[in-house]
Amino acid sequence: MVSALWGAPLIRVCSSPVSSPSVSGPLRLVSRLSSQSSALSQSGGGTTSAASTEARSRALRRRWCPAGTMLLALVSLLSCLLPSSEAKVYSRCELARVLHDFGLDGYRGYSLADWVCLAYFASGFNTAAVDHEADGSTNNGIFQISSRRWCRNLTPNVPNMCRLYCSDLLNPNLKDTVICAMKIAQEPQGLGYWEAWRHHCQGKDLTDWVDGCDF
Phi, psi of 174 (to 5 degrees): 70, -5
Domain positions in the chain are 92-209
**pLDDT at position 54:** 66
Residue 48 has pLDDT above 60, yes or no: no
Q: What is the mean pLDDT of residues 112-127?
A: 98
User: What is the value of pTM for the model shown?
Assistant: 0.62
Residue 15 has pLDDT above 50, yes or no: no
pLDDT band at 126 (very low <50, low <70, confident <90, very high): very high
Phi, psi of 132 (to 5 degrees): -95, 125
For 162-191, the pLDDT digits (tens) are: 999 999 999 999 999 999 999 999 999 999
> Which residues make Cβ contacts (< 8 Å) with residue 213, sequence separation at least 6?
92, 93, 96, 97
**pLDDT at position 52:** 60
> Which residues make Cβ contacts (< 8 Å) with residue 181, sequence separation at least 6?
104, 115, 143, 145
**pLDDT at position 181:** 98
CATH number of 92-209: 1.10.530.10
